[in-house]
Amino acid sequence: MLTPQLTLSLFNHHTDRHYQALVRDRALERAQRLVKLARAKGLRSIKAETDPLVGIGMEVDERGRVTKNSLGVLELSWQAGEHPEWPALIRREVEEIRAGIRAAHGVALRNLVWAGMGGSAEDKAMYGAMGLLNGGVRVFVLDSTDPAKFEAILAQLTRGGVPLRRALSQTLVVGMAMGMTSYEPVINLEKLHLLFQKNRIPSTANFVYMTLPGSLLDQFAAPRGYQRIELQLDNDNTTAGRHSGPLTRGSLYPLALNGVDLDAWMAAAVLTGDEIQYALRLAAFLHSNGLESRDKVTLLLPRQWRGAGIWSKQDFEESLGKSEQLGIKIFPAEVVQPPLRLPARHPDEDRVFWAVQAAGCQNIEPAIVKHLREQGYPLAVLDVAAGTPLSKYMQFLHYAVFGMGWLRKMNFVTQPSVELYKQITNTLYARACKAGSVERTREWRALARTRYRANAPGGITLHYDSLVTARLLTPQDLGPPRAGAAEVLARAIQRLRAEKRIEYAELTFYGDLRYRAAGRRLHELLRAAADSAFGDRLGLSTDVYEGPAMNHSYHEMIIGHGRCFSIVLLARRQTTFGPAGYRPDYHRAQWLATKLALERRGRAVVALLFPDLRTPSLRALRAFFQQVVRHLA
């Protein structure tokens, strides 16, 4: 018997009843039977009444017909154990891509630009943050329609004085979209294609794409002669985007191009029986705590694993955020934040703790783990053996998500709330194209003209009309008629928190927080503001992230489950990248669509506009949040 490389210890909570339900219901065996049935007889042989798991792990239309088997999240791991030739196949494929670029341009492959959103991109961002992509091919994640991010990536490609024509010749562009209507990768591929044309670079060898036949991405790329590559090694379509790592081509190509040992990687993703049972026990632990209203999970990661936080959050929240009754929020943290204020058994204590301890890494301080145990806080400790590939952790989480989906009788493969936001975005953008700009649409004009707005020094405007429209608060709740933006925001947060209508918060900036120095400074500013305003003053955990990637990652929980206070931020001055004709209209439409989607679902959301990312604006924004904190005191 193989020795587990992952082991789980649980403290201060009894989960046996729910774990035994998973065992008694033979949930995994059901999944295996359904997969075999789909393989042998096709989806038409499966009906919604065939098994409860059909409604949990498959896509079913309004007539009860199965339209997609999405259990590939488990099946790919089972298949990997039966296909030892898969690692060599991936290596051969990426070498063919290298050879094609060399033959077309006489240069070696140096850069990879990955155009995708949410689950099609987050694993690449995680790999880069954890140092797995340092083997020679630089990987850039283009997960935004912000022209500023596009421009910043091009600046990285040409760093050191490399001519743009040479940099593009050395670049592989991969477009990935697992939805039929995903438009963001199309925009970015269109702009990159235009740059290749303007620089007179034949681009056929430099572009590949992964999507479904007939999708918007396929409609763009196929007529240009770009190669469509099957996402899965079994040439099937059984995974959602967030489940594409660690075992699809979309997850494996960047690793292979950087020399990661794929044999070890894929072997590790085949979990042992004990490891699978540990994952199901974690599912039972998180589910049972959720039933007791402890659904805020502080995920304590080793320093070297910080990059895994957002991917872990996405896997749980986008999969399990659909229910207003039961939710699960994952808050990756280096320390226990906000500070422990309530006793473990206090009725208002809604947190549970999950520590990952990887041998050979800088893990969370043992004293913190000891304190949590001794004080009686529900705690899960996942120990990872030295040298364990990240793929094992990723597949472990997939099994845990599957287990929670079964226990909650919740479909963990669909994303209805994300689809709502996308629908609104596309409608807004179509109107913007007709009107000439997004600012000329009736939705943007309504935002600009609303009387429910307040100002702050430095050109900052807070739009709080959604709080009134959704009947969450009255204008009288928010202070005197001419109250400043900081006072209005503080009053809104205080009132909703006192009424227990919000349990956590998020600050999402629509723009680049990764590649530009100014964006990174803004990220630090927002993180500090979140900790002081929401954490220290109100004891609320807070997400700080970049849109629209957030919408495709964990937006499902924010709009589906609710109970979040959202601040969506946008700089008035947007970049336009002239050489590729890249305007920010779609990006602005995504910002406004997020606000409208949350408003339609009755969620607490405000919009915050500020001038730009230059130093005076950031200084004003910092002063604004400091003023909010003073009003919260």
**CATH number assigned to the domain comprising residue 103:** 3.40.50.10490
Paired tokens of 148? 């500023």
Average pLDDT, the chain: 94
pLDDT of residue 536: 86
Q: Could you give the CA distance from residue 474 to residue 493 in angstroms, rounded to a whole number?
A: 13
Total domains, the chain: 3
Question: Which residue among 210, 236, 267 closes a domain?
Answer: 267
Residue 3: inside a domain: no
Q: Please give the radius of gyration of the chain, using alpha carbons only, rounded to the nearest integer.
A: 24
CB 583 within 8 A of CB 150: no
Residue 152: inside a domain: yes
The domain containing residue 113 runs over which residues? 85-267
Q: Could you give the CA distance from residue 425 to residue 200 in angstroms, rounded to a whole number?
A: 34
pLDDT of residue 385: 97
Q: Which residues pair with 381 in a beta bridge?
A: 9, 355
Residue 214 sits in the same domain as residue 280: no
More confident residue, 547 or 406: 406
pLDDT of residue 556: 83
Residue 55: inside a domain: no
For the cut 70, the answer to whether the pLDDT of residue 340 exceeds it is no
**CATH number assigned to the domain comprising residue 493:** 3.40.50
Residue 356 sits in the same domain as residue 450: no
Residue 73: inside a domain: no
Residue 481 sits in the same domain as residue 369: no
Q: Which residues of 562-599 are buried (b: 16+ CB within 10 A; e: fewer)?
A: bbbbbbbbbbeebbebeebebbbbbbbbbbbbbbbbbb
Strands 207-210 and 296-300: unpaired
CB 207 within 8 A of CB 226: yes
Residue 379 sits in the same domain as residue 509: no
pLDDT for 478-506, tens place per residue?
A: 988 788 999 999 999 999 999 999 999 99
Residue 29: inside a domain: no
Of 447, 441, 416, the C-alpha closest to 596 is: 447
pLDDT of residue 338: 62
User: pLDDT band at 353, cuts 50/70/90?
Assistant: very high
Q: What is the mean pLDDT of residues 622-626?
A: 97
Using CA atoms, how far residue 609 sits from 448, 456, 524, 586, 613, in Å, is: 11, 10, 18, 17, 11
Q: What is the mean pLDDT of residues 122-146?
A: 96
pLDDT for 564-576, tens place per residue?
A: 999 999 999 999 9
Question: Which residue among 267, 283, 314 closes a domain?
Answer: 267
pLDDT of residue 18: 96
| Region of residue 539 (left: phi > 0; alpha: psi -120 to 50; beta: else) | left
For the cut 80, the answer to whether the pLDDT of residue 362 exceeds it is yes
Residue 278 sits in the same domain as residue 262: no
pLDDT for 152-165, tens place per residue?
A: 999 999 999 999 99
CB 473 within 8 A of CB 618: no
Residue 276 sits in the same domain as residue 321: yes
For the cut 70, the answer to whether the pLDDT of residue 87 exceeds it is yes
pLDDT of residue 519: 96
Residue 87's identity, in one-letter code, is P
User: pLDDT band at 417, cuts 50/70/90?
Assistant: confident
Q: Could you give the CA distance from residue 57 to residue 390 in angstroms, rounded to a whole number?
A: 24
pTM of the model: 0.95
Q: What is the mean pLDDT of residues 433-442?
A: 93
User: pLDDT band at 1, cuts 50/70/90?
Assistant: low
Residue 469: inside a domain: yes
Residues in Cβ contact with 473 at an 8 Å cutoff, skipping those fewer than 6 apart: 467, 492, 495, 496
Residue 229 sits in the same domain as residue 321: no
pLDDT for 464-475, tens place per residue?
A: 999 999 999 999
Angle between helices 416-435 and 585-600 (to 10 degrees): 130
Residue 612: inside a domain: yes
pLDDT for 238-249, tens place per residue?
A: 998 889 999 999
Residue 168: inside a domain: yes
Residue 256 sits in the same domain as residue 324: no
Paired tokens of 76? 């790919």
pLDDT of residue 557: 86
Please give the torsion angle defined by the CA atoms of residues 141, 144, 148 and 151, in that order, rounded to the nearest 10 degrees: 40
pLDDT of residue 339: 64
Residue 164 sits in the same domain as residue 92: yes
Question: Which residue among 225, 251, 267 closes a domain?
Answer: 267
CB 345 within 8 A of CB 13: no
Residue 181 sits in the same domain as residue 253: yes
Residue 409 sits in the same domain as residue 433: no
Residue 427 sits in the same domain as residue 347: no
Q: Could you give the CA distance from residue 286 to residue 599 in angstroms, rounded to a whole number?
A: 29
Helix (H, G, I), strand (E, B) or coil at 5: coil
pLDDT of residue 119: 87
